[in-house]
Chain A
Amino acid sequence: MSDNTIQQAKASSRILPGQERYVAPAGKVELQDVDSVDESMPATNMWADAWRTLRRNPLFIVSAILIVCIIFVALFPGVFTHRDPNFCQLDHSLEKSSPGHPFGYDTQGCDVFTRTVYGTRTSLSVGILTAILVVIFGSVIGALGGFFGGWVDALLSRFTDIFMAIPMLLGAIVVLQMFRTSGSIWKIVLVLTLFGWTQTSRIARSAVMETKNLEFNTAATALGSTPGRNLLRHIMPNSFASIIVIGTTSLGSYIVSEATLSFLGIGLPTTTVSWGGDISNAQTILRTDPSVLFYPSAALAITVLAFIMMGDAVKDALDPKSRTA
């Protein structure tokens, strides 16, 4: 004990200037309960957070307004025009715009404005239906492969590779040749899904593989949960963000693909109004009457841009890296 006192006495005489004992005055720092919950904070979760981020993003606001308008046009084309898109009079062929016909007429004497308005429904349905099917099909295959691993994964991955190896357009041309006369948009949707699900499947697979190794799955197993339940209740919901992002972003590209196929003449027949078909028809008179080509192309570009912008905004909001831990 005496040793200790000596040492302390010595130590106290040995304090360097500026290193004297300092105790903050009482009341300067308020002492809080250990690890108390801040109940004043608003409750949040990933989706609420994402929504808050989205709401502030001008990219999202612009694209959302555009998409709402586009969907409205697609649902109620009759509000904008009273004419039938297939009602064409050759005597109006290539007439310039006039009151009631703001975009003028094409070679066949059809009203370009009416055809552009009615074309929206085709393009949008193809895009949305394909995106939904791709997300369902792709994520099921990807999730199964990623979750079970081993030979299941090997088999499904090779299956995916086969479809990935076929260029979408080439495959679509081959398949669509068989259903040339059908005017249903479903043939396009199915063909695009058939050759488009691979990317989603890959992303779903890696998302599932990443989530699978997180500790909450082990925790759930130890609570008595089964692997299947883990996949449905824990892994899929946690992987969903990346799948949503890829779904929204590729929606635009499906619309483009439909237009491309219709342009090539193997998509929808001329009896079905679509922007791709109209662009194809207008191509021959591009030099003399560019306006006929301009309107369906512009509509296509705006729609695709709106969806791609939306995809970007959603990606920013849901990106796992920017999420607060």
Chain B
Amino acid sequence: MSEMNSNNEKSDKLFEMQREQGPILEVKDLKVDFTTGNNHAVHAVRDASFNVYPGQWVAIVGESGSGKSTSAMAVLGLLPGTGHVVGGSIKLEGEEISHYTRKQYEQILGDKMGLVPQDPMSNLNPVWRIGTQVEEALKANHMDISHEKRSKLAQALAGGGVAVKSEDDETFIGSKELPELLKAAQAALNEAGVTGDGAKNKMDYFTKEWVPGSETRWRVADDLIKAGVSDDKAWQIAKQYVTGSTMTDRIAGLLEEAGLPDAATRARQYPHEFSGGMLQRALIAIGLACRPDLLIADEPTSALDVTVQKKILDHLHTLTDELGTAVLFITHDLGLAAERAQHIVVMYKGQVVESGPSLDVLQHPQHPYTKRLVAAAPSLASQRIISAKEHGENADALMEHHAKGEETLEKSEHIITVSHLTKEFKLPRKKEMFKAVDDVSFSVKRGTTLAIVGESGSGKSTVANMVLKLLKPTSGTVTYEGKDISEFEGKSLLDFRRHVQPVFQNPYGSLDPMYSIYRSIEEPLRIHKIGDKKSREQRVRELLDLVKMPQSVMQRYPNELSGGQRQRIAVARAMALNPDVIVCDEAVSALDVLVQDQVLQLLNDLQAERGLSYLFITHDLAVVRQIADEVVVMQKGKLVEHATTDEVFEHPQKQYTKDLLDAIPGGHLQLGLD
């Protein structure tokens, strides 16, 4: 209870401070244009206004092309290509910066504003060590590497514990002095009469917490005092042994703060030796290296698995809270925005359509666009989509349909059965084989959807490729309609292909750019020699209607369509042969929420109309709930859990499943209450 009170007190104080200091970033009526080849201006941002206060998290939400990233880049003075600010004002700590030159921007970038970019893979130089890249950020801003720099806000907020800290109190621990410091701490503990397990616990705590290049003198003293060492003695030890860090210490300290374990070793590695999550952590370390007052994070975790995303954001949260850094973060994920930010700004077509306290905006959306976004957001609260066709029918018919559906579900045979499926790959430079898929068994019931969920590297796509007979399993079998698919060849293989169709993840890659939409959809008909020219054209028109695309797109090429439109074309192509089974490999993962919702609706309608069975591969548990009847959870090639969707969501059996559910951003929030 007392903790809660002190928390409240702290947030009250923070609120007062924020009101007193005023916004750190004030964007008013911002206008950004891009000029195209023939001097035609494209209005990327129109009259956007928003404020960010010190220590606050503000989210800009919107679909791709809404101008959210452009606004952030305008603030940073990093507009790409022909983009430029044509109106409005951007004030950083009360100073107008929109007219700044490149040189003036260099002065404030890093030091006052930091950036965590979107794509960790392309934002680190592959030929430099991670440590060198952190060092570059420190050197470019002439950072003092032996002393911590605290924001005004952090100083004011930390005021409660230690009175006024002098400059020297913020000196970092050096790795050279650390062993002696620990020895002295041990001695001091003994002297203070702390012995046995108590002393051991305290020492373990010290060893863990006292990170060179990150922990400061006053904290060491503070820890010692809390452990029972007398004030004088504690400060004496702290002053004697905490005498500042070297560059190497500081780099390791920064990386450690960003959540990289064993940072000193990691700093000497190259980007290709890091996973996506680790690279993102390194970028966070770089973004925060110079202790900016404002950190701009552009979709910082969109490329990462949900559990990694949660860990990184949690970490960033504690870190920025401690440093008093304000965070402006850009995301397309409403749940994430609601969970992390106090203030939320919704952008659409370059304009701010709604803004306000995040929970308020999401629970009572007022603008039609926000309403639409909230309605489409796949959160835990959402249920399996009921087909629009079913919606239209009256309640009785709906009930009947359901009853019938359930009956067939019980009785029907399994259209695809996977048993003891294993796939091993040979890794380069390694002797042992890597098991991408390890003894996985499940079956897809006719007319239902089975989702395989897992993070990257779980082997879910490998399973999909084996089911599609694009990969040969090392052992185990896949049967379609009771027949082993490994025996299909020639005519029977063609027949199998006719009945089992894929929709792939990347809408930009799965359509041949040289083929017109007509030719793309017609291709399966040609391959299987179905119909003549005229009847094929008729079929293509039907299919376009089916996926709700205008027939005029027939003569267009994939590069003219958006990702969602291409994915609908891919669905049309898959439907051309009237298949029984469609394997969707991350089919909606690359799409914006609204578009994703639209494609899911389409898939669902098709299932209701034609009794299709889906094998749905995804990393996104929220989507699973909207589309799947059964769920298979995979981790590192193994099947972890297999149950009905409701069962998995309401009573997850395994810890891994619970972690996955827990990591869904905004999962516990009720969105769109009215």
Contacts and interface: CB of A to CB of B under 8 A. Distances in A.
Interface of A: 8, 11-12, 14-24, 26, 28-31, 34-35, 37, 39, 41, 43-46, 214-216, 218-225, 229, 234, 237-238, 323-325
B516 A35 contact: no
Contact of B514 (A18, A22, A43, A45): A45
A46 to B, nearest CB: 6
B351 interface: yes
B510 A216 contact: yes
B512 interface: yes
A55 to B, nearest CB: 13
Given A11-B357, A325-B508, A325-B559, A16 B352 contact: no
Contacts of B493: 224
Contacts of A325: 508, 559
B662 interface: no
Given A19-B343, A21-B357, A220-B523, A43 B349 contact: no
A33 to B, nearest CB: 10
A220 B521 CA distance: 11
B349 A35 contact: no
Contact of A29 (B349, B505, B557, B559): B349
A215 B506 contact: yes
Dominant SS among interface residues on chain B: mixed
Please name the 4 residue pairs, one residue from A and one from B, whose CB atoms are nearest each other, closest first.
A215-B509, A21-B356, A224-B497, A45-B557
A225 B527 contact: yes
Nearest to B527: A224
A318 to B, nearest CB: 12
Contacts of A222: 468, 470, 497, 501-502
Contact of B573 (A19, A41, A223, A237): A223
Contacts of B527: 220, 223-225, 229
Nearest to B343: A19
Contacts of B516: 45
Contacts of B570: 219
B550 A37 contact: yes
A128 B115 CA distance: 54
Contact of B562 (A22, A29, A31, A35): A35
B510 A215 contact: yes
Residue among A15, A35, A234, A324 with the highest chain B CB neighbour number at 10 A: A35
A282 to B, nearest CB: 47
Given A16-B51, A45-B516, A325-B559, A22 B510 contact: no
A229 to B, nearest CB: 8
A44 B560 CA distance: 7
A26 B513 CA distance: 40
17 contacts: A11-B359, A16-B19, A18-B26, A23-B354, A31-B369, A34-B598, A35-B562, A41-B560, A45-B557, A215-B509, A215-B510, A220-B527, A222-B468, A222-B501, A223-B501, A237-B512, A325-B559
Contact of B18 (A16, A225, A229): A16
B351 A28 contact: yes
B357 A218 contact: no
A236 to B, nearest CB: 10
Nearest to B465: A218
A133 B494 CA distance: 37
A35 B598 contact: yes
A46 B510 contact: no
Interface stretch (B360-368, B385-393, B635-643, B644-652): B360-368
Contacts of A23: 353-354, 366-367
A108 B666 CA distance: 93
Contact of A35 (B18, B577, B595): B595
Contacts of B573: 219, 223
Contacts of A238: 512-514
A213 to B, nearest CB: 10
Contacts of B509: 214-216
Most chain A CB within a 10 A radius of its CB, from B51, B343, B355, B468 = B355
Nearest to A221: B470
Contacts of A39: 550, 552
A84 B513 CA distance: 52
Contacts of B511: 216, 219
A20 B356 contact: yes
A28 to B, nearest CB: 7
A31 B502 contact: no
B305 to A, nearest CB: 21
B564 interface: yes
Interface in B549-602: 549-550, 552-553, 555-557, 559-562, 564-565, 570, 573, 577, 594-595, 597-598
B265 to A, nearest CB: 34
Contacts of B34: none
A111 B38 CA distance: 51
Contacts of A8: 359-360
Contacts of A21: 355-357, 360-361
Interface in B325-374: 343, 348-349, 351-357, 359-361, 366-369, 372
B504 interface: yes
A95 B557 CA distance: 62
Contacts of B352: 22, 24
A215 B587 CA distance: 13
Given A28-B351, A31-B372, 7 more contacts: A11-B359, A16-B53, A18-B26, A29-B349, A43-B560, A215-B509, A220-B523
Contacts of B557: 43-46
A46 B560 CA distance: 10
A244 B510 CA distance: 25
B539 to A, nearest CB: 14
B498 interface: yes
Interface string B505-536: 11011111110100000011001100000000
Interface string B483-496: 00000000001100
B4 to A, nearest CB: 13
A221 B366 CA distance: 48
Given A16-B51, A31-B369, A219 B552 contact: no
B15 interface: yes
Contacts of A11: 357, 359-360
B292 interface: no
Contacts of A215: 504-506, 509-510
B667 interface: no
A19 B352 CA distance: 13
Given A24-B367, A34-B598, A237-B514, A19 B556 contact: no
Nearest to B576: A223
A101 B668 CA distance: 93
Interface in B19-47: 19, 23, 26
Contacts of B470: 218, 221-222
Contact of B594 (A34, A44, A46, A237): A34
A323 B470 CA distance: 30
A31 B51 contact: no
A16 B357 CA distance: 10
A226 to B, nearest CB: 9
Nearest to B552: A39
Among A17, A19, A21, A221, which residue has the most Cβ atoms of chain B within 10 A?
A: A19
B15 to A, nearest CB: 6
Contacts of A31: 348, 368-369, 372
